Amino acid sequence: MRLIDAPALTVAFWRALLVGLLIFAALLVWQGAAPFRAFWRTGWPGLIYVIAIGASGVMFVIAVSLTSVANVVFIIASLPVFAALFSRVALGERLSLRMYLTMAAVLPGLAVIAYGSGETANASLAGDLLALAVSAVFAAGLTAVRLVRQVSMVPGVALGYMLGALVILPWAQPGAIQPAQAPLVAMHVGFILCSSVLLALGPRYITSAEVGLLVLLESVFAPLLAWFFIGENPGGYALLGGGIVVGALFLSNLVVLARRRRAPSAGS
C-alpha cells in the first residue's frame, strides 16, 4: 500500500471494489445464491457486520496514509480488547481476570504509541485515532455476528467491501491510478483477498486462541517489512508501545491456549 502512488481514497476504492467483486463472483460460481440468502436472513447483526467491514476497510487505508505502518498494526492489535468490551455490553458476557489484566497492559501501550506520534516524523495522532477506530468498528462487527455464528460471513465480506467502494466513489479518483501502478494494485488486492479467505477458514482447523497468536505476527512483521523495504523507521516509542500491546495479547492468548489443551487431559 505504501508503494502505490495514488490518493488514499483512490487506493481504498480499488481495494474494496476488486476484493468485494472477486469474493462475490467466486461465491456465485461455487455455491450459487444460497450463501447470500442465508446471510440476508441474519437481519441486523449481518447489516452491522457489512457496515463494519466496509467502514474499517476504508479507514484502514486512510490510517496507513496518515501515520506509520507500525502505529497502525500495533493499535489494531488491540481489537480483542474492544471485542471483549462490546461482548460485555451487548451480549452480557462477564470479563475474566485475564481480560482485565490484558486491558490494563494494552491501554498504557497504546498511550505510549500515541505519545510517540508527536516525536516521529512519519506518524500522526490523527492516523493513530483512525487506526483505533478501525479496531473498534471491526470489533463491533465481530461481536454482532456472534449472534448468528451458524451462518457463513463470507458473503458479508463481499457486500461490505462493495458497499465501502460505493460510498467513497464520489470522493475517490479511480483514474488516478497510473498503468505502471497496476501490478502493485493487483498484488495488494491479491494479498487482501487471500488473507481474508484464509483467516475465515483457519478457525475450522485450529482454535481461536491459536488464530489469535498467529494473527499477532502481522504486528511483528509489518513494521519490519516497512522498515526494511521503504526505510520507514517506526521510532522507539512505537516499538516500545507496540511491544507492550503485542506482548500482553500474546501472553493472554497463550493462557487461553494452555487452558484448552489441559482441558481434554483433565477429562480423560
pLDDT tens per residue across all 268 residues of the chain: 888 889 999 999 999 999 999 999 999 999 999 999 999 999 999 999 999 999 999 999 999 999 999 999 999 988 888 888 888 888 888 888 888 898 898 989 999 988 888 777 778 899 999 999 999 999 898 888 888 878 888 899 999 999 999 999 999 998 888 888 889 999 999 998 888 777 766 666 765 556 667 778 888 888 888 888 888 888 888 889 999 998 988 888 888 878 777 765 555 4
Q: How far apart are CA 141 and CA 52, in angstroms?
A: 5
Residue 209, pLDDT score: 58
Residue 91, C-alpha cell as written in the block = 451480549
Residue 26, C-alpha cell as written in the block = 467466486
pTM above 0.85, yes or no: yes
Q: How far apart are CA 153 and CA 53, in angstroms?
A: 11
Residue 54, C-alpha cell as written in the block = 466496509
Q: How far apart are CA 18 and CA 158, in angstroms?
A: 10
Residue 98, pLDDT score: 85
Residue 176, pLDDT score: 86
- Can you list the alpha helix ranges (DSSP code H) found in 32-78? 34-40, 44-66, 69-76
Number of residues that make up the chain: 268
Residue 208, pLDDT score: 58
Q: How far apart are CA 57 and CA 60, in angstroms?
A: 5
Residue 40, pLDDT score: 92
Q: How far apart are CA 227 and CA 70, in angstroms?
A: 9
Residue 186, C-alpha cell as written in the block = 493487483
